[in-house]
């Protein structure tokens, strides 16, 4: 009887342990599914309907230097034709400022690229959805605007993946482009996240001024084919400047595209 009881206890312990092991493995796999729910078919590749941009009347007047492809970081190989230029907006979504920008972009039939902060995307899911539905490209700008090169790889990875998941939950598309805050990242992280970093070629430092004319002038005087303009849609002055920049550069024959149509990977 004692032996039977002992045997029963041992058996119960083994079964219990097996159950615990199974539970841990299962939870991990569910967790990793959730963390990596950016499945291949959901990536932000060619999701856009390009028919609208195809209908833009292109009258090239801006000049394209043949050597323009060499003046920037070698991450970018500028695909400089049709006077393409890209507007990119960081640090959003920013509530009413972003909504005003989206209204202005829609009126002008312009597609832009938004590098979103995860925690802001979580706060404004309707704006993120609207960006996606209106054909803008959405990229990752980390969850809390962290400087990726100053934290350990696990923290950096988590910042990126959490943001991808939030965006992917809202739009069903997983970002493939990342703009690292302050332009700072490590190659090790890049290899781990398998995303394309996108920096910029024109920075009017709009976060540092509310002077719309100064932002517009800096961009317009430096604008060339294949440029990537950095702005922030969380400031009213930046939004006003962005719309003026579009009007001025469209008048000069530039065509605004999302960054996937400018950079070659
Ligand atoms: Zn930023």
Residues in a beta bridge with 256: 85
Say how far apart CA 239 and CA 206 lie, in whole Å. 10
147 vs 21, higher pLDDT: 147
Q: Is 90 a catalytic residue?
A: yes
pLDDT, tens digit (0-9, with 9 covering 90-100), for 108-143? 999 999 999 999 999 999 999 999 999 999 999 999
Give residue 265's pLDDT: 59
Angle between helices 125-133 and 153-171 (to 10 degrees): 70
Percent share of the chain, pLDDT over 70: 72
pLDDT for 4 equals 73
Cα–ligand 1 centroid distance for 40 (angstroms): 27
Which member of 90, 91, 233, 260 is catalytic? 90
Q: How does residue 12 score in pLDDT terms, banded at 50, 70 and 90?
A: confident
Average pLDDT over residues 215-240: 97
Q: Which residues pair with 78 in a beta bridge?
A: 263
Q: What is the pLDDT of residue 13?
A: 67
C-alpha 164 to ligand 1 mean position (Å): 16
pLDDT of residue 81: 72
pLDDT of residue 25: 46
**pLDDT at res. 97:** 98
Q: Find the 54 Cα to ligand 1 centroid distance in Å.
A: 31
Measured in Å, residue 247 CA sits from the centre of ligand 1 at 25
Q: From the CA of 58, how far away is ligand 1's center (Å)?
A: 32
Q: What is the spatial distance between Cα 139 and Cα 136, in angstroms, rounded to a whole number?
A: 10
> Is residue 54's pLDDT more than 70?
no
- The CA-atom distances, in angstroms, between 59 and each of 20, 56, 81, 87, 103 are 67, 9, 12, 19, 25
Q: Residue 201 has what DSSP assignment?
A: S
Reported as a pLDDT band with limits 50, 70 and 90, residue 43 is low
Write the pLDDT tens digit of every residue in 144-179.
999 999 999 999 999 999 999 999 999 999 999 999
What is the distance in A from the centroid of ligand 1 to the CA of 98? 15
Of 35-39, 90-94, 218-222, 226-230, give the lowest mean pLDDT range. 35-39
Tell me what pLDDT residue 79 has: 54
Percent of the chain with pLDDT over 90: 66
Q: Choosing from 136, 141, 232, 233, which is the catalytic residue?
A: 232
Give how far Cα 252 sits from Cα of 68, 81, 153, 255, Å: 18, 15, 44, 9
């Amino acid at each position: 009887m004692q032996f039977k009881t002992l045997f029963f206890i041992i058996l119960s312990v083994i079964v219990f342990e097996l159950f615990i092991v199974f539970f841990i493995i299962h939870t991990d796999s569910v967790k990793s599914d959730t963390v990596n729910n950016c499945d291949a078919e959901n990536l932000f590749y060619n999701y856009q309907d390009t028919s609208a941009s195809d209908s833009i009347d292109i009258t090239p007047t801006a000049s394209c230097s043949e050597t323009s492809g060499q003046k920037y970081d070698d991450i970018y190989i500028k695909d400089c034709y049709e006077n393409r230029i890209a507007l990119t907006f960081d640090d959003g979504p920013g509530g009413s400022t972003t909504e005003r920008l989206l209204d202005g972009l829609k009126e002008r039939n312009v597609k832009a690229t938004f590098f979103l902060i995860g925690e802001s995307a979580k706060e404004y899911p309707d704006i993120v959805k609207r960006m996606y539905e209106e054909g803008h490209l959405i990229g990752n700008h980390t969850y809390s605007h962290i400087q990726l090169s100053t934290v350990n790889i696990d923290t950096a990875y988590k910042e990126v993946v959490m943001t991808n998941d939030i965006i992917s939950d809202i739009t069903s598309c997983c970002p493939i482009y990342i703009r690292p805050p302050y332009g700072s990242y490590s190659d090790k992280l890049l290899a781990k996240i398998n995303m394309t970093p996108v920096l910029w070629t024109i920075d009017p430092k709009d976060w540092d001024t509310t002077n719309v004319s100064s932002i517009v002038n800096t961009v317009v005087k430096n604008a060339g084919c294949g440029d990537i303009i950095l702005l922030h849609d969380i400031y009213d002055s930046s939004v006003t400047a962005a719309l003026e920049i579009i009007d001025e550069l469209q008048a000069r024959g530039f065509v605004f595209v999302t960054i996937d149509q400018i950079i070659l990977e």
